[in-house]
Amino acid sequence: MPSTIKTKLADKVALVTGGSRGIGAAIVKRFSEEGAEVAFTYSTSAKRADQLVAEIQAEGRRILAIEADMGDEEAVRRAVAKTVDTFGGIDILVNNAGAFAAAPIDQFSMEDFDRLINVNIRGVFVATQEAARHMRDGGRIIHIGSCNAVSVPFSGGSVYALTKGALVSFTKGLARDLGARGITVNNLEPGPVDTDMNPAAGPGAAGNLQHMALQRYGHVDEIASFAAYLASPEAGLITGASLLSDGGYSA
């Protein structure tokens, strides 16, 4: 049976892009636990999306998985429309889906460049634009950026940093654009987090840890809890901010 306990996201509708695994899946779970009805997109992880849906439905909560490549403008717009049609509106957008590639600038392929721009910038813009058209006053927009917008202590990361740096200024401008409607816009910037794409026991871990004051990788639940706070009424005065959660990576 659905829980009758009212939590801080009760009666809210959220859309999380790239929500089938890693940080995105943790945010989906946390928002659902906090009482929100949640839709999430996925592109290649259909099995994980199905598992996440089953897990949340087993708790008696409403959940919607939407197949959508965040580099595809029409797919992004359809995802927002399906969320609104299913749940009757939208209150929270989390732009979590992202792409990564690294190479020296003189070897960086245009294929990788276009993919990073399309997913990390264009996809965020399209999702935000479409969600803003439907979002109820007092809503929340949260970008999942990266500490590499602040610090890039490795070679080959310039283009990725370019895309994540763009979110910093986009966040500030959006906060002004949407502030009159009571909609807050913030950019959460994780450092190294233990996921399939960047495992704490992976080959790149030692290089990351040498830059971290806390000498450990983050956990997806730590990022999800931060996102839940930014989505809650308690964070109503925070907007236009880029907020690090990186274990001192950029300290």
- Domain spans in the chain, listed from the N-terminal domain onward: 13-245
Predicted confidence (pLDDT) per residue in 165-207, tens digit: 999 999 999 999 999 999 999 999 999 999 988 999 999 899 9
Alpha helices in the chain (DSSP H): 22-33, 46-58, 73-87, 110-117, 123-134, 158-178, 205-209, 220-231
Q: Give the span between the Cα atoms of 39 and 131, in whole angstroms.
A: 13
Residues with pLDDT less than 70, the chain: 1-6
Fold of 13-245: Rossmann fold (3.40.50)
How confident is the model at residue 6, as a pLDDT?
58
Which single residue is written with the structure tokens 């797919």? 75
Q: Give the span between the Cα atoms of 91 and 236, in whole angstroms.
A: 13
CB 187 within 8 Å of CB 128: no
Dihedral (Cα; 107, 205, 17, 144), 10-degree rounding: -90
The helix (run of H) or strand (run of E) holding residue 244 is strand 241-245
Q: What's the start-to-end Cα distance of the chain, in Å?
A: 46
- 42, 160, 217, 249: the catalytic one is 160
Q: Phi first, then psi: what are they for 62, rounded to 5°?
A: -85, 135
217 is a catalytic site residue: no
Q: Give the span between the Cα atoms of 234 and 168, in whole angstroms.
A: 22
How confident is the model at residue 4, as a pLDDT?
47
Total-model pTM: 0.96
Q: Give the span between the Cα atoms of 87 and 32, in whole angstroms.
A: 14
For residues 7-27, one letter each, b for 16 or more C-beta atoms within 10 angstroms of the residue's C-beta and e for the rest, the string is: bebeebbbbbbbbbbbbbbbb
